[in-house]
């Protein structure tokens, strides 16, 4: 039986809610990617070019620290990775997470939340970090129904259920 993980970063709680729904619907374990230094409201002010998030996203080689590690990544076959879209791509903490583990041969599917943009080139950028993973289609989770979510899970993990 395939073992699934939902790993997610959430700055304001929106992606956390989507991750919890996805984990429940797929029967996956869940892991929160927590920054070493939490983001404040000022850090997240995308209109301020000197805010922490703006500075990080202006340098895609930026790697914000992660406060904890997942000790048993090798047990997972399928990993759903979730995040809010920042500047039309994944926050750089997601790149740090991907670089922290060996995803060779694992199935990866990303999901995201956004105030208005889609996934854009996010998957292509992340694929370059883990080229030996099996990348599947991503999904925006802002307004996804339970039926749509189940259908997407089945596309990623055929012939599996959480029951």
| CATH code matching the domain that covers 4-156, chosen among 1.20.1560.10, 3.40.640.10, 3.40.50.360, 3.40.50.11540 | 3.40.50.360
Indicate whether 163 pLDDT > 60: no
Joined together, the tokens standing for residue 111 give: 């999901």
101-139 pLDDT, tens per residue? 999 999 999 999 998 888 988 999 999 999 999 999 999
Q: What is the pTM of this model?
A: 0.93
Phi/psi at 50 (nearest 5 deg)? -100, 5
Q: Distance between CA 160 and CA 150 in Å, rounded? A: 10
Domain positions in the chain are 4-156
Indicate whether 140 pLDDT > 50: yes
1 exposure class (CB count in 10 Å sphere: 0-12, 13-18, 19+): exposed
Which pLDDT belongs to residue 32? 98
Which pLDDT belongs to residue 115? 84
CB distance 122 to 138 below 8 Å = yes
> Which residue from 106, 112, 9, 113 is spatially nearest to 56, judged by alpha carbons?
9
Name every residue whose Cβ is closer than 8 Å to that of residue 74 and which is 6 or more positions away in sequence. 102
CB burial of 60-94 (b: ≥16 within 10 Å; e: otherwise) equals: eeeebebeeebeebeebbbbbbbbbbbbebbbbbb
67-93 pLDDT, tens per residue? 999 989 999 999 999 999 998 899 999
Joined together, the tokens standing for residue 74 give: 């090798």
């Amino acid at each position: 039986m395939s073992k699934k993980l939902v790993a997610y970063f959430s700055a304001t709680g929106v992606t956390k809610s989507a991750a919890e729904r996805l984990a429940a619907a797929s029967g996956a374990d869940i892991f929160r990617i927590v920054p070493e230094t939490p983001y404040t409201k000022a850090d997240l002010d995308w209109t301020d070019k000197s805010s922490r998030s703006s500075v990080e996203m202006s340098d895609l080689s930026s790697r914000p620290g992660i406060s904890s590690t997942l000790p048993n990544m090798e047990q997972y076959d399928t990993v759903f990775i979730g995040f809010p879209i920042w500047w039309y791509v994944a926050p750089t903490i997601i790149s740090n997470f991907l670089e922290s583990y060996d995803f060779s041969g694992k199935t990866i599917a990303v999901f995201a939340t956004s105030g208005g943009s889609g996934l854009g080139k996010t998957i292509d950028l992340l694929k370059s970090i883990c080229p030996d993973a099996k990348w599947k289609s991503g999904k925006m989770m802002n307004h996804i129904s339970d039926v749509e979510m189940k259908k997407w899970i089945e596309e990623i993990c055929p012939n599996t259920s959480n029951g």
